[in-house]
Chains A and B, each alone.
Chain A
Amino acid sequence: MANLFVDGKYGDRGIVLGNEAIARGALEAGIGYASMYPGTPASEIIIALDKNKKNIKNLYTEFSLNEHISLHGAIGASWTGIRSLCAMKNVGLNVASEPAHFLAYTGVKAGLVLAIGSDPGAPSSSNEQDDRWYSLHTYMPIIEPSNIQEAKDFTKKAFDISEQFSFGIILMAPSRLCHNAGILNFGDCSDRDLISGNFKRDPENYLNLFNLAVKNHKKYLERNELLKKYVYNSELNMIIDAQISSTKSSRIGFISSGIIYSHLIEALNFINADNYKILKLGITFPLSEELINKFLDNLDEVVIVEEAEGFLEFQIKKIAFEIGYHGKIHGKNVFKAYGELTIDDVINGVAGFLGKAAPEYFTAAVNKSEILSDKTPQRMGTFCVGCPHRGTIYSILKASGYSNTDSKDRDVIIAGDIGCYTLGLLPPYNAMDWLTCMNSGLSIGQAISIADKSKKIIALVGDSTFYHSGIPVLMNAIQNNSNILYIILDNSWTAMTGHQKTPSTKTDIDGTPIPNSVNLKDLLKSLGVSYIKTVDPNSVKRFSVIIKEALTEKGLKVIIAKRECILQEERRKKIKNIKSKTENSPEMFYELQKERCVKCNECFVELACPAIQSAKENGINNGKEYYFIDPVSCVKCGVCYEVCPNSAIRKVEFNLHPVINSALNPESQLSFLGNK
């Protein structure tokens, strides 16, 4: 089957993810440069381009070390005349905010689009920030698509607007759009054969100092005014007039944008409210005073339906004041400013405001879910079976004596950071004392080590996060002689966002060696770290002894917990097995012997490997509970074998062929083996 993402043309239809639609829009616009530091929910934007780049002419893709670098990269490409796409998650813009604040000063040459995946409800983030507010000072125009089709079409259009007004354009995509999968009607791609960059000096725009900066500040404010005229006429915005005027409903209007607009339309249909005037904003910065004036005309009341703190409400109320609008403007008095604004929230808000009833089956389901939620224990993510981070977290808790407790009185402080290992903050581990932004672990920890000398401090960081912005933090800690234990959890990949390479990645998934990979130990030495130990995090007993030891030493200590992400290791095994399949090779598995197990919970609760499960004897509800290792999910990492204090877990070796069909019942596996 042809690859639609690459070869699709006008008239083709396919199922794509919102993120892929954004990438495809950029491809249709003829980009030649795409960069990002991976971050959920935006990662698939650049992944889609990167994995197909062999089949796309003149496309360079880069998973940069951080967002600051990746946005600068896109700017550089634009200055050579190459259209560029940069993507990042919401908090990425904090890191990239510096280049973002200069982009209006310098302007662009070829179109530049910055796609931002926001994360309301924070299912994959450490905050819910609404990046649109940045544009009040960066002056980057904001485009907000409402569905998959618009995600592609608006991205394509954004490149033209970027070039016409010499601004980098922000394309806002919340997770509900990034991860909305559905039909996309493809367009044609630009002819990209002739693309070749050519940097020309442009000192008037690119040099900013003293009065040069002031002059460029004035220039972009002028460009912003011109852009507002364009916004007034742009088809990206749309006014839907009331069908029957001179009714009461025709004097109430709704304003919305992005994915929330799609909730609004569905909500209005849900409650059969089809005669209200609606303003759909495809461009949410800058707003056109003229357009808002045109919409507010004839309206007594307007409701702004949006997520977070009310960016549109803030701007529209200012415009309303300037034009002397005397009606009422509602927004955050109707809709909450925190958490995800769901379709249910919009139905409830709109129905409540209009004094209309939501359908009976909707209210019945909402009421029912409140009753059911009491009966439904929460399910939180945890480390994958065989994840090396489980070994690290377990070893830290053993060394510090904080297993299975969430006590607030601890003498060993454990600083968290961003990555898969962040899951260690959840029960049963409760292994972290704070989690905010990238590399907050060591930097906050360093100050605490100075301010509170009674505590011992362990700071965690993953390899990708360390290379993102951790090196200056570490140097700062070294130079100020901090008393801290820094554990770098080096699993060789940026695992959480889909396994992008880090500078530590030495071998690609197919076994290809990666040139220029960094020797982390050498790097640490050259930074001036004298205490460096490398351990296998799955050797938990040894690891916890080393941690205990390190905590007694003064100064800055680094332990590298080195083991590849289990998902990648397993994938590599599969690829190898396909290449050289050997039958009847000796295999092994771990068995939890029911008769020896005293259910001390060392493996089941403290280590909490999901492959160790419980069942009731004879399958009866109130039968005696026992633990077993689920052979289907176990990856044979052996950590449970090491931690069991009663030798109830044993290693069984056998030949592969007789066991193939007996994976169903863990006990039946052993029947043919006898007891070794």
Chain B
Amino acid sequence: MKKFNIAITGLGGQGIITAGTILKNAVLDSVMEDVSGSERRGGAQREGYVEAFVKYIFYDSIAELQNPRKNMHSPMIASGDADVLISLEPLETLRAASYVNKNSVIIFNTNPHIPISVRMGKNKYPELDDILESLYGITDNVFYYDFNKLSLENFGSIISCNVISLGVLFAKTNIPVSKNVIENILLKGSKAKDNLRAFNIGLNL
């Protein structure tokens, strides 16, 4: 059995859940493949923490697929067990860093969103350099961009950050899914043209 775990985190309204759903739709064709993963939706409010897990399973044999000791999977990702962490907010990258290990890849958005406690002066928002230092203390594979800026420049809104980050995922990791499959999924969805462009922007970063 081969597994590939992706944790996607950020804030409400950033398209975290959508990004997870796009990735999950990539493995519908074979019974030997499975995907699941829980989402933290955090109510309707826009400022809360949101996460989506994508856990791909590729079975080696029918026997394994039918083995009850092998064919049941937790919807959560255990500490250190994510192959990739995608985070659309720097502080949330730090919060979710417990999901990764020294071989994992971290892809994150450098555009900060200040939490209330920092606004009130009760906490300090960590500097980007400090965040990077902490992340490099875990893995060497850290990729970071200002996705907000890229999205605004290209699409006039920040709505495409999530799909741009998926492009980076396919450019910088060994995700065992073909990027053509993702392009086909984007092609069938709404705003196909923008999404394909956003995906390509990410691919070329």
**Chain A CB within 8 A of B76 CB:** yes
Nearest B residue to A185 by beta-carbon distance?
B31
**Chain B CB within 8 A of A530 CB:** no
**Chain A CB within 8 A of B193 CB:** no
Nearest B residue to A240 by beta-carbon distance?
B68
Q: Which of A148, A375, A664 contacts B126 (CB 8 A)?
A: A375
Report the stretch among B19-27, B162-170, B171-179, B195-203 that lies at the interface. Answer: B19-27
Residues of B within 8 A of A240 (CB): 68-69
Q: Are A183 and B36 also in contact (CB < 8 A) when A428-B119, A605-B120 are?
A: yes
B56 to chain A, nearest CB (A): 10
Residues of B within 8 A of A183 (CB): 24, 27-28, 34-36
**Chain B CB within 8 A of A437 CB:** no
Structural contact, B117 and A377, CB atoms closer than 8 A: yes
Report the stretch among A194-202, A291-299, A358-366 that lies at the interface. Answer: A358-366
In the complex, chain B residues 137-185 whose Cβ is within 8 Å of any chain A Cβ: 137-138, 149, 152-153, 156-158
A602 to chain B, nearest CB (A): 13
Structural contact, A238 and B76, CB atoms closer than 8 A: no
Q: Are A182 and B158 also in contact (CB < 8 A) when A262-B73, A377-B125 are?
A: no
Nearest A residue to B102 by beta-carbon distance?
A361
**Chain B CB within 8 A of A213 CB:** no
Q: Mark B73-94, 1 if CB is under 8 A from A, else 0.
A: 1111111110000000001101
Structural contact, A364 and B101, CB atoms closer than 8 A: yes
Question: CA A364 – CA B12 in complex, angstroms?
Answer: 29
**Chain B CB within 8 A of A378 CB:** yes
Structural contact, A376 and B44, CB atoms closer than 8 A: no
Question: CA A267 – CA B92 in complex, angstroms?
Answer: 26
Task: Indicate the member of A497, A610, A621 with the most B CB atoms within 10 Å.
Answer: A610
**A-B pairs with beta carbons under 8 A, tally:** 225
Residues of A within 8 A of B74 (CB): 259, 262-263, 265-267, 343, 346
Nearest B residue to A370 by beta-carbon distance?
B98
Q: Which of A179, A375, A427, A604 contacts B38 (CB 8 A)?
A: A179
**Chain A CB within 8 A of B116 CB:** yes
Structural contact, A378 and B117, CB atoms closer than 8 A: yes
Q: Mark B112-131, 1 if CB is under 8 A from A, else 0.
A: 01111111111111110010
Residues of B within 8 A of A535 (CB): none
Residues of A within 8 A of B77 (CB): 343
Question: CA A610 – CA B97 in complex, angstroms?
Answer: 25
Q: Are A181 and B20 also in contact (CB < 8 A) when A380-B48, A427-B116, A621-B127 are?
A: yes
Question: CA A427 – CA B52 in complex, angstroms?
Answer: 26
B25 to chain A, nearest CB (A): 5
25 contacts between A and B (CB under 8 A): A124-B42, A147-B36, A176-B38, A176-B76, A179-B41, A181-B37, A181-B38, A182-B75, A240-B68, A267-B74, A278-B69, A344-B79, A369-B97, A376-B126, A377-B117, A379-B92, A379-B117, A380-B117, A381-B45, A382-B45, A382-B116, A384-B45, A427-B117, A610-B47, A663-B157
* Chain A interface residues (CB < 8 Å from chain B): 1, 13-15, 17, 40-41, 123-124, 146-148, 175-177, 179-183, 238, 240, 259, 261-263, 265-270, 274, 278, 280, 342-344, 346-347, 359, 361-362, 364-366, 368-369, 372-373, 375-385, 404, 420, 423, 426-428, 495-498, 567, 604-605, 608, 610, 613-614, 621, 632, 660-661, 663-664
